[in-house]
Amino acid sequence: MKAHLTTDTRTTTAGPVLSLAGELDHATAPQVHAALLELRLTDGQQLTIDMSGVTFCDSSGIGSLLAAHAYAAQAHGVFVLSAVPARTRYLLGVVGLDLVLPMFPTADEALDAWSGDGDSPPL
- 47-78 per-position pLDDT tens digit: 999 999 999 999 999 999 999 999 999 999 99
pLDDT greater than 60 at residue 118: no
122 inside domain = no
120 inside domain = no
Q: Cβ neighbours of residue 47 under 8 Å, at least 6 residues apart?
A: 15, 16, 18, 39, 41, 68, 71, 72, 75, 77, 78, 79, 80
59 inside domain = yes
Q: Domain residues for 20?
A: 5-113
pLDDT at position 115 is: 77
79 inside domain = yes
Domain count across the chain: 1
30 inside domain = yes
The CATH number of the domain holding residue 49 is 3.30.750.24
20 inside domain = yes
Instruction: Give this prediction's pTM.
Output: 0.90
